[in-house]
Amino acid sequence: MQIGEVPADWRNQRIAVQVDFVPSRLLPIVRFLDVEALATRRVLENELAPLLAYYGYTELDVPTVRGGDRRVTRWIGKWAFELREENGAPAFAGIRYLSRLNTDWECWAVFHDVGIRELAREPIERANPALVSVAREFDLTVF
């Protein structure tokens, strides 16, 4: 394969799955931390102030949240994963954010202990509209 080519084997070894999140005894309300919200970033800025200062950040702005410094985003994930309600239940099921490559792409990081229900499953065909769109965007040839 040449640079910029996606082999058919990549598609054949994967499936596209649509899911829904299932409330449980441990997680009765399925909420996601929305790091795109200014109010959320202000709370995180306060909660993670010493860490942000250590890494040289004076504020938690959009470029920092979407940037390449994974130390910051990992600490945000750790904070959200460890935060508990008064009853000990997890406060969040994961994190919602927008892609740094294209803000039209909404991303969801789901924590491992969250119940999911499969709604649909399909192979990733070469003509899949989402795959075609991404391939066009990044000048990829999909086999």
pLDDT digits (tens, 9 = 90+) for 8-57: 999 999 999 999 999 888 888 899 999 999 999 999 999 999 999 999 99
pLDDT score recorded for residue 26? 82
pLDDT score recorded for residue 27? 84
Q: How many residues would you count in the chain?
A: 143
* Residue 128: exposure state from Cβ atoms within 10 A (0-12, 13-18, ≥19): middle
Phi first, then psi, for residue 12 (nearest 5°) are -65, -25
pLDDT digits (tens, 9 = 90+) for 51-93: 999 999 999 999 999 988 999 999 999 999 999 999 899 999 9
Half-sphere exposure of 59 (CA within 13 A, CB side): 7
Terminal alpha carbon distance of the chain: 10
